[in-house]
Amino acid sequence: MAIKVGDTVPSATFTTFGASGPGPVTTDELFKGKKVALFALPGAFTPTCSAKHLPGYKEHAAEFRAKGVDTIACVSVNDVFVMKAWGESQGVGDDVLMLADGNGDFTRAVGLELDASGFGMGKRSQRYSILVDDGVVKEVNVEQGGEFKVSSAEYMLAQL
């Protein structure tokens, strides 16, 4: 079952690329005591993800911070090296935390896995955004197949 408003974010571990290289980030470290705007997408370097989804959150990062968001995080079922390279190519800097869900553990735990095998991409994440406050889900915005509306930065900003 997919995650819903009022749920506690399930326990999982992401990988991110820090100053000393790749390292783990647990959901407790990410969400405890913080307001987090997290968005997930099917894949780094894919057309909609690169042209609209990630750039929107980068562009509006200051507005999210002004509305009390501590962290903007991007999740994809990709490895940490791909997420690092994609973040660098998109110039996200410190505005968006790039999180690799390499094995899809978080994606499965929130019930938002997508079978993209027909496109040669295997198991991926659906396109969605969630607003989490101290580990509790406040908003859930899951896109219908092929759409890009409710998971956008602009849509989430209107929910804050």
Domain harbouring 52, CATH code: 3.40.30.10
The answer to the question of residue 52 being in a domain is yes
* Mean of the per-residue pLDDT values of the chain: 95
The pLDDT tens digits of the residues spanning 103-160 come to 999 999 999 998 777 777 778 899 999 999 999 999 999 999 889 999 999 999 999 9
The answer to the question of residue 76 being in a domain is yes
Among 3, 1, 114, smallest CA distance to 49 is for: 114
pLDDT value of position 108? 97
pLDDT value of position 124? 84
The answer to the question of residue 22 being in a domain is yes
The answer to the question of residue 1 being in a domain is no
The answer to the question of residue 46 being in a domain is yes
pLDDT value of position 95? 97
The answer to the question of residue 38 being in a domain is yes
The answer to the question of residue 20 being in a domain is yes
Looking at the predicted structure, is the pLDDT value of residue 11 above 90?
yes
pLDDT value of position 146? 85
Split into its structural domains, the chain has a count of 1
Q: How many C-beta atoms surround the C-beta of residue 49 within 10 A?
A: 22
DSSP 70: -
Range of the domain at 29: 13-159
CB distance 140 to 130 below 8 Å: yes
The answer to the question of residue 28 being in a domain is yes
pLDDT value of position 123? 87
Contacts 24+ apart (CB under 8 A), 84-87: 84/17, 85/44, 86/44, 86/45, 86/50, 86/54
Which sequence positions are flagged as catalytic?
49
The pLDDT tens digits of the residues spanning 30-73 come to 999 999 999 999 989 988 888 899 999 999 999 999 999 999 99
pLDDT value of position 115? 77
